[in-house]
Amino acid sequence: MSSQSKADWLHTLERRHPSAIDMGLERVGLVANRLHVRQFQAPVITVAGTNGKGSTVATLMALGRAAGWRVAHYTSPHLVDFNERIGINGTLISDAELVSALDAVEAVRGDISLTYFEHTTLAAFYWFQQQAPDLVVLEVGLGGRLDAVNLVDATVAVITSVDLDHQDWLGDTIAAIAKEKAGVMRAGCPVVLGEREPHSVLLMQAQSLSAPMWQKGQHYDFADLDEAGAWSWQAGDTLYTDLPAPSVVCDNAATAIAALHALAAVSDLRISEAAIRQGLPHAYVTGRLQRLTGLPEVWVDVGHNPHGARFLWQHLPKPLPGQRTHAVFAMLQDKDVAGVIAASAESVDCWWLADLSGPRGQTAARLADQLQQALSNPCIGGQFTTVESALSAARQALQGGDRIVVFGSFLTVAAVLSAGA
């Protein structure tokens, strides 16, 4: 039994490797081979993409559970507790199980240095093999081709969207980023594309691998919520009408349904219409378009790049007449802050800026400078050392039925949820 607690283990992993991100599968692949975790008995759906991964994974989990399957999930990052990343059917890995899995990786690691993400990913794989799931759903952490999740072959690959993000690691063009995400495809295995106009790099890669394509708008499609709050999904002769609304956007839920239909063509798992109808109301993602309870009206969203910001403002309920939107805003310094500001400018009436701690954190003062450069005379309510203090000040400044939207980073939302604000 390990002498380290979960907190000790995670602290050790944060400090051990010289770089928080070290792209490549050679080192981690050697350890995975020693641990025998590169193959599962169950089929695997791997979800990559710039945005929409969390909602798609959440829908896959909800529908799979409704079908009576044991669905294992691996996601990142977490919001409040690390264990959120690993679970089966909504039951998260326990601290003792996590420590045991981390110990198992350590026992075979030898002198190979692993990043925090690599070590914990292998621990998740090790635990999954002990749980005998019916389906494994894996969310890519960064990119796809060189991400540790890609050690495992996907039975079905899903690419939700492609846009600029993590340019320091993935490249500074959409084509370069698309190439990295296309790396989760496997020869002869279905690939589900969540965009109606996917980048040509994705299409060419699928064709070169003879991977059956499910492209939104061509091979499957959906009609969004109607006035009664119902929607529909169709692929070929299969049509589901009057579907119940999920707590994620229908766009991503539709991609998940397509992935399960693609899975039926290459595995023994068959999703029924009854399971889809039963599972959809249980599809939700903490921290994505989430309204906090009570008044005033406060929303939190983990959007942290221009694509995510556009998604946020497109799907957030439109403000009521006379209602002002206050943004509590904090971002990491290696993100496209200017792009997020540009995508949000028409939707935000006043900005409340906060520092984010850590080596990648950005100061409120720097955010204020970027706002001043991007916008003409922006309303800045104040600069604060914490997200919690910015939110508190914004609450006090509200008038009438004004609302608050907290966004910019997973860390921004985590600060609010951890504080129980």
Average pLDDT over residues 210-214: 97
Q: Would you say 410 and 381 are in contact if contact means Cβ atoms under 8 Å apart?
A: no
Average pLDDT over residues 284-312: 92
The Cα–Cα gap between 176 and 48 comes to 15
Number of domains in the chain: 2
pLDDT at 378 over 50: yes
For residues 298 and 149, membership in a common domain is answered with no
For residues 31 and 175, membership in a common domain is answered with yes
pLDDT at 172 over 70: no
Alpha helical stretches, state H, 132-197:
167-170, 174-181
For residues 244 and 300, membership in a common domain is answered with no
**b/e sequence 277-286, b meaning 16+ C-beta within 10 Å:** ebbbebbbbb
The Cα–Cα gap between 170 and 144 comes to 9
For residues 125 and 268, membership in a common domain is answered with yes
The Cα–Cα gap between 265 and 203 comes to 20
pLDDT of res. 142 = 76
Instruction: Give the domain extent around 241.
Output: 6-282
Instruction: Give the confidence band of 22 by pLDDT, cuts at 50, 70, 90.
Output: low
Residue 168 lies in a domain: yes
For residues 273 and 318, membership in a common domain is answered with no
pLDDT at 394 over 50: yes
For residues 301 and 231, membership in a common domain is answered with no
Residue 1 lies in a domain: no
The strand pairing partners of 243, in sequence order, are 231
For residues 278 and 175, membership in a common domain is answered with yes
Q: What would the two tokens of residue 65 be?
A: 């559970």
For residues 233 and 352, membership in a common domain is answered with no
Closest CA to 270 of 73, 74, 135: 135
For residues 277 and 309, membership in a common domain is answered with no
pLDDT at 169 over 50: no
pLDDT of res. 21 = 57
Q: Domain of 93: which CATH number?
A: 3.40.1190.10
How much of the chain, in percent, has pLDDT values that exceed 90? Answer: 82
Residue 247 lies in a domain: yes
For residues 127 and 229, membership in a common domain is answered with yes
Q: Which of 252, 282, 312 is the last residue of a domain?
A: 282
* Residue-wise pLDDT tens digits, 235-252: 999 999 999 999 999 999
Q: Which of 250, 266, 282 is the last residue of a domain?
A: 282
pLDDT of res. 1 = 47
Q: Domain of 330: which CATH number?
A: 3.90.190.20
- Comparing 21-25, 44-48, 62-66, the range with the smallest average pLDDT is 21-25
Instruction: Give the confidence band of 359 by pLDDT, cuts at 50, 70, 90.
Output: confident
Residue 164 lies in a domain: yes
For residues 80 and 225, membership in a common domain is answered with yes
For residues 191 and 125, membership in a common domain is answered with yes
Q: Would you say 276 and 282 are in contact if contact means Cβ atoms under 8 Å apart?
A: no
Q: Which of 237, 266, 282 is the last residue of a domain?
A: 282
